[in-house]
A and B are shown apart, each in its own frame.
Chain A
Amino acid sequence: GAGVSQTPSNKVTEKGKYVELRCDPISGHTALYWYRQSLGQGPEFLIYFQGTGAADDSGLPNDRFFAVRPEGSVSTLKIQRTERGDSAVYLCASSLTWTSTDTQYFGPGTRLTVL
Chain B
Amino acid sequence: AQRVTQPEKLLSVFKGAPVELKCNYSYSGSPELFWYVQYSRQRLQLLLRHISRESIKGFTADLNKGETSFHLKKPFAQEEDSAMYYCALRAAGGYQKVTFGTGTKLQVIP
Contacts and interface: CB of A to CB of B under 8 A. Distances in A.
Q: Do A and B bind each other?
A: yes
Contacts, number: 54
Given A91-B44, A104-B46, A98 B101 contact: no
A78 B45 CA distance: 25
B77 to A, nearest CB: 22
B105 to A, nearest CB: 10
Interface string A49-60: 010000110110
Q: How large is the interface on B (under 10, 10 to 19, 20 to 34, 35 or more residues)?
A: 20 to 34
A48 B32 CA distance: 18
A45 B93 CA distance: 18
A40 B102 CA distance: 7
B97 interface: yes
A45 B19 CA distance: 29
A42 B101 contact: yes
14 contacts: A4-B43, A40-B9, A41-B103, A42-B102, A43-B100, A45-B98, A56-B97, A99-B94, A100-B90, A100-B92, A100-B93, A100-B96, A108-B43, A109-B43
B86 A43 contact: yes
Contacts of B94: 98-100
B99 interface: yes
A99 to B, nearest CB: 8
A106 interface: yes
B43 A42 contact: no
A55 B98 contact: no
A100 B94 CA distance: 7
B95 A103 contact: no
B100 A48 contact: no
A106 B100 contact: no
Contacts of B95: 48, 50, 55-56, 98-99
Contacts of A106: 43-45
Nearest to B88: A42
A55 B96 CA distance: 10
